[in-house]
Structure formats: structure tokens, C-alpha cells
Structure 1
């Protein structure tokens, strides 16, 4: 199986590579459109700030490529947020895959939300064998509100979408690669899709 992690300069790449190796697979890093198109599975990571990450995607033309991919694609953290319509962070236009806007947590909560929190309302094969209310690792100041494309919910003084799915595109706000055995099982489920 050919697994490509999109390398566009805004990734939490090493921990994802190690998690995939622990599952018995090898991933390659690439920003080459042909290599990405030829992959069986594509992982779209992201750490950092939305507008600068989007500038890197625009500069490489990956902003046009990613929405056209036909194989399973998993956006993680900022990767998931960039797959939405837009983000309040840096007033950034997203890839428009998920029909939801990313907004900032209100001043009522401590930002970033950092640490372990529960996921529930689990839907889709991504969560096969995962119990409701498992704890996942999150670090973020912006979120996607619960919407039609939500496949998991988290509560941080209000409910929001901690995972999204549309067609062959999946996104997790949490970091499966940093979420122990349960996160690894979710990554394994993605690789089986």
C-alpha cells in the first residue's frame, strides 16, 4: 500500500510517520502531485497558523489538487480545518471540501484547548471498534461547529465537531498519532478504508 503524507511545510510529520511504522506500514513524504495522485491513502497534516499554511498550499498548487483526490484522504488538526470553507484564523479561505466555517473559541474558555478530551457520537468506519467517550489528544484555538458532516463530537464548554467526513475525505481535529493505542487504531482504520 502506498501512503503519502503531504509535505507542504506545515506538518506534524515525524509523529505520523512513526505511528504508521508502528502499524507495520511505511509512508513517504511528498509534495509531488503525481506521487500524491498515485497514492492509495493520503494524509494531510497541519500544525501552525491557517493563513500561512494556506499560502504554502497555494504556492505549490496543492490547493487545487487536494479537493480532486479520489482515494481516502485524512486531514489532521490544521489539515482538517484547511479542508473547510474558511477559517477565522487569519481570515483564510479554505479548500471548501467540508461545508463548514472554522471559528475561534470564545473568551469564556482557555485557549488553546490543550490535552486530552473525549470523543462521542462516533459515526463511520473510521471509528470501527472505538468506544464512545474515548480520550484523544487535542491542541487548538479554532474549531468546526457541529454540522451535517460531523462524525465525532467533543465538548469544551460547548459541543463542536472533532471529526468530519464527506465522500472520501476525513478530518480529525484531534491528533490520532499522539493519542496512544486508541489513536493508532483510528489510523489503522483509515488505512483499511
Structure 2
């Protein structure tokens, strides 16, 4: 079943549209709290089409991802409070609360660097935002980590496309399905690890 390649090909169409920057802003914003795909699928073709605007595109994506992550943070915080009775009925609440308490016991700088690393990895931003809201990471530390972590990612991608040109975009187009499913597999493995092995 192909999921990511059709989304990527639709994004290629959007990337050539006269309102491409607005689409990029919207995708970056919504991806940060709910959309199942990453804004990189638009960043790559847009940068290839207009290489001189690579920094502008990366900045638009970063700014709107950061704004969207605030909604994701709130969803994690309030959603967890609403889900607590269900988690308690399932018997999961004590272990989840223990893990959250462990994370809350970390120092602010430890949490900051953990989030910076997470923002750079191919983990959907929504999961980091939700988790930060659940744990109650201080908002200034959360936003700073998102800007640095996601910023490194989008500027690096746009810079590589700018330097690598069409060959870099073709590689992304060829492997996007594998990359997308690999990310989902990593998320499932992480959930299984924390549920059964940690």
C-alpha cells in the first residue's frame, strides 16, 4: 500500500503553484500537531525549483511549524488529562505516570537537549509536541528546542537540495515511501519498547 509517495507527488503539484509559500506555511503549521506527513515533502521541490530562495522557504516552514507546535503542546497537555480515566481503566496509568515523573525529574537543560535531538530526528513534530505537553516541559524551553531542532533539519535539507540539485530531489522522490514507513516502524518499535521492555 502506497501512502507517502502519493502525498509527495501531490506536494510536487502544490510546490509549483503560485501560492506555494502559503501551502508550505499551512502544511508546516498543521503537521506540527495533526497532519501525518512532514513539510519536507514541499520544501524539497520548492527549493529545487527556486534554489536562491532556499533560506526563505526553510524560514517559512520553521516559523509556522513552531506556531503549530504550541497547539500540539496544548493538545498533549489537555488531551492527557482527558484520557487519564481511560488509561486507568486499561491499567496503563501507573506505568505512564511513573515514566512522566521520571522525565519531569530531569533538569531543564537535559530536557532541552533531548528535545533538540528529537527535533532533528525524522520523528513527526506532533509526537514531540504532544509528549512535551503531557510532561509539562516549560514552554520557553520547549519553543527554543523546537526552533533549534527543527531549524537544523529544514535548513540542512534546503541547503543540501540547493547544493545537490535535481539528483538530491530524485533520490528523495525514489525513497520517500521507504523513508515514511521506516519512520512509522521506528515509532511502533519505540512504543513497544516503552510499553513492554522499559
Both proteins in one fold, TM over 0.5: no
TM-score band, normalised by the shorter chain? under 0.3
Point out the structure with the larger helix share: 2
Q: Which has the higher contact order (CA 8 A, sep 6+)?
A: 2
Give me the TM-score of the superposition, normalised by structure 1: 0.27
